[in-house]
Amino acid sequence: MGSAGTVAELVQRQWGDHRPGLRHEGTVLTHHQVASGAAARAALLAELLPAGSEPHLGVLLDNTPEFPLWLSAAALAGAAVAGINPTRRGAELARDILHTECRVLITERAHLPLLDGLALPGVRVLVTDTDAYAALLAPYAGAQPGDTVLKRPAPATRMLLYFTSGSTGAPKAAICTQGRLAAAGRSLVDHFGIRGEDVHYVCMPMFHGNAVIADWAPALSAGAGVALRRRFSASGFLDDVRAHGATYFTYVGRAVQYLLATPERADDREHPLRLGFGTEAGAVDAARFRERFGVRLVEGYGSSEGGAAIQRTPDTPPGAIGRASDRDDLAVVDPETGRERVAAVFGPGGTLVNGAAAIGELVNRGRTPFEGYWRNEAADAARVRDGWYWTGDLFFRDPDGFLYFAGRTEDRLRVDSENLAAAMIENILARWTDAAAVAVYAVPDPVAGDQVMAALALRDGARFDPEAFAAFLRDQPDLGTKMAPRFVRVVPSMPVTATNKVHRVGLRREGFWSGGPLWWNGSGGAYEPFGEGQLGPLIREYEEHGRHDLLSSHGGGF
């Protein structure tokens, strides 16, 4: 079977394939039923979209069968799907729908309250779990793939408008064409040896690029099955994997930590799962996951924008993501000067000893597959400057060219004139056995620059022992002299976004003081409780140096 140039071709290949193709709770659809359902929805979409409008539809759904059915329908019709985040509210939610010029919005009854009171002029809302929806679809039950198209599907046809999870400003809708999505799926099939008998477990939200680009697309490319979970559940993960016979899954953010936090069971290794692919698990948790569940986790690098790719090879050392793909000319540069950073130097145990000189922003100096943002020229210009694609991510490179992720540029800290990456400190703190989840972020220093603050969510039954924590820090050979947290917040659970990434914006906004347990080593020694007695002198120190305004801009409740 030759390679497909479009997602539409991949959907059409399902026609006549009566193997199980889509599983959700008690529902099983064959590949043929998926293709047939997609053809019906494509025909309906062609009737509903006004002439002359952009062929865009919004999908505001949990991971139910309707989501991949409408993705497939959009591919057949030559339309684009905007994944609408159900954690957005009010004017922000309306803005996402209107900005992407969706004239049809697919949703379900559970999400209808989100639309109450919103002004959505010209938007037709379809509610999937209703009799009215079933009646609307019924006349198109006999549609064939390719019967009705809004725009003839081609590799350059828009397929996805997926919002990035930026920390400032309104989210940007990254464009992904049918050709790029089909190529991404094919690449993962080749890289991981995905077969038609595999089952891909989609538990990350499908409004986010990870689930569609890294999980659904390779399954479609290989003719593999897809099993859906409405929303991620750590406690239900293994039961789902066993029930659906899942062999592959993707993860983002803290999902792996949540799985490791579930009670251990004697049958943790009794399942068909063979591979997890994602980002931000960290080397420590990836090793713990493999030891407990017997499943290899492969850390990848990519984004909805697709501007740079890193390929993992068999000789990739522990902790590294891989090398630049053949198509890319990747470099790690100083974001202020554009000059290339020096190669990483490792000490005993593989510790990075020259982080300040080696860590920089990853750029693609070659031809980038970045396809732009929808109606956002300013964001396009910020992403591509002087012919380079700037990823917004921090990396370092070893002498052999292997690349290591070090965090987002917005998560940099500057402590005593030294630049630090939050992700590097997090990876060290994650070794502490009492920690279930860790987040590191900057709070303003009273004199200049930043101080390091850590939020810790503890494992069940653990309590914060300041002496034990300080002893742990002293034992870490790669914890630089500027890296130790000045402040430590103990949180009942780590705040996360809808895609299971740590909600650092919220943590930074709360700053030092949120009324919860807070510890500090203000004198540079042992960690002590931080309370009202320490608050007054600290505020006065900020005032003496003219930096009191930073407390309100960083939060803190002062």
Residue-wise pLDDT for 206-261, tens only, equals 998 899 999 999 999 999 999 999 999 999 999 999 999 999 999 987 789 889 98
What pLDDT, on the 0 to 100 scale, is given for residue 555?
Answer: 45
Classify strands 360-364 and 330-333 as parallel, antiparallel or unpaired: antiparallel
What average pLDDT is seen over the chain? 89
421 pLDDT exceeds 70?
Answer: yes
55 pLDDT exceeds 70?
Answer: yes
**pLDDT, average across residues 517-526:** 81
In whole angstroms, what is the distance from residue 545 CA to residue 558 CA?
17
For domain 318-410, give the CATH number: 2.30.38.10
Tracing tokens 């799962």 back to the chain, one arrives at 273
512 pLDDT exceeds 70?
Answer: no
What pLDDT, on the 0 to 100 scale, is given for residue 548?
Answer: 65
What pLDDT, on the 0 to 100 scale, is given for residue 557?
Answer: 42
Full-model pTM: 0.80
**Listed residue (264, 255, 262) closest to 231, CA to CA:** 255
Task: Classify 114 as helix, strand or coil.
Answer: helix
Tracing tokens 């400003």 back to the chain, one arrives at 169
What pLDDT, on the 0 to 100 scale, is given for residue 554?
Answer: 45
**Superfamily of structural domain 416-553:** ANL, C-terminal domain (3.30.300.30)
Q: Higher-confidence residue: 498 or 245?
A: 245
Tokens of 34: 């998926």
Radius of gyration of the chain (CA): 24
pLDDT band at 119 (very low <50, low <70, confident <90, very high): very high
Spell out the domain ranges in the chain. Answer: 7-179, 318-410, 416-553
523 pLDDT exceeds 80?
Answer: no
What pLDDT, on the 0 to 100 scale, is given for residue 159?
Answer: 97
| Number of other CB atoms surrounding residue 43 within 10 Å | 23
Cα 367 from chain centre: 24
What pLDDT, on the 0 to 100 scale, is given for residue 553?
Answer: 44
- Contact (Cβ atoms closer than 8 angstroms) between residue 159 and residue 182: no
Q: What percent of the chain has pLDDT over 90?
A: 61
Contacts by residues 526-534 (CB-CB < 8 Å, ≥ 24 positions apart): 526/466, 526/467, 526/470, 527/466, 527/467, 527/469, 527/470, 527/488, 528/466, 530/487
448 pLDDT exceeds 80?
Answer: no
267 pLDDT exceeds 70?
Answer: yes
**pLDDT, average across residues 202-208:** 95
Tokens of 66: 């309707």
Q: Higher-confidence residue: 286 or 541?
A: 286
pLDDT band at 405 (very low <50, low <70, confident <90, very high): confident
- Contact (Cβ atoms closer than 8 angstroms) between residue 125 and residue 86: no
What pLDDT, on the 0 to 100 scale, is given for residue 552?
Answer: 52
Handedness of CA 111, 99, 212, 137 (dihedral sign): positive
List beta partners, residue 385.
388
62 pLDDT exceeds 80?
Answer: yes
pLDDT band at 556 (very low <50, low <70, confident <90, very high): very low
Q: What is the pLDDT of residues 273-294, one digit of tens each?
A: 999 999 877 778 889 999 999 9
What pLDDT, on the 0 to 100 scale, is given for residue 410?
Answer: 74
For the sheet with 518-520, list strands across it.
435-444, 450-458, 487-491, 518-520, 528-529
In whole angstroms, what is the distance from residue 482 CA to residue 163 CA?
35
- Contact (Cβ atoms closer than 8 angstroms) between residue 183 and residue 232: no
In whole angstroms, what is the distance from residue 206 CA to residue 129 CA?
18
| Number of other CB atoms surrounding residue 339 within 10 Å | 10
167 pLDDT exceeds 80?
Answer: no
What pLDDT, on the 0 to 100 scale, is given for residue 262?
Answer: 93
Q: What is the pLDDT of residues 319-371, one digit of tens each?
A: 889 998 777 899 999 988 999 999 999 888 777 888 889 989 999 999 888 99
DSSP 367-424: ------BTT-HHHHHHHEETTEEEEEEEEEE-TTS-EEEEEEGGGEEEETTEEEEHHH
- Any idea what DSSP says for residue 366? S
Q: Higher-confidence residue: 284 or 205?
A: 205
What pLDDT, on the 0 to 100 scale, is given for residue 551?
Answer: 64
Q: What is the pLDDT of residues 456-491, one digit of tens each?
A: 999 989 999 999 999 999 998 778 778 899 999 999
**Topology classification of domain 7-179:** Rossmann fold (3.40.50)
pLDDT band at 155 (very low <50, low <70, confident <90, very high): very high
For residue 543, the one-letter residue type is E
Q: Exposed (0-12), middle (13-18) or buried (19+): which is 470, by Cβ within 10 Å?
A: middle
What pLDDT, on the 0 to 100 scale, is given for residue 515?
Answer: 54
Residues 58, 61, 63, 64: what is their CA dihedral angle, to the nearest 10 degrees?
A: -100
Across 27-41, 91-105, 255-269, 535-549, least confident range: 535-549
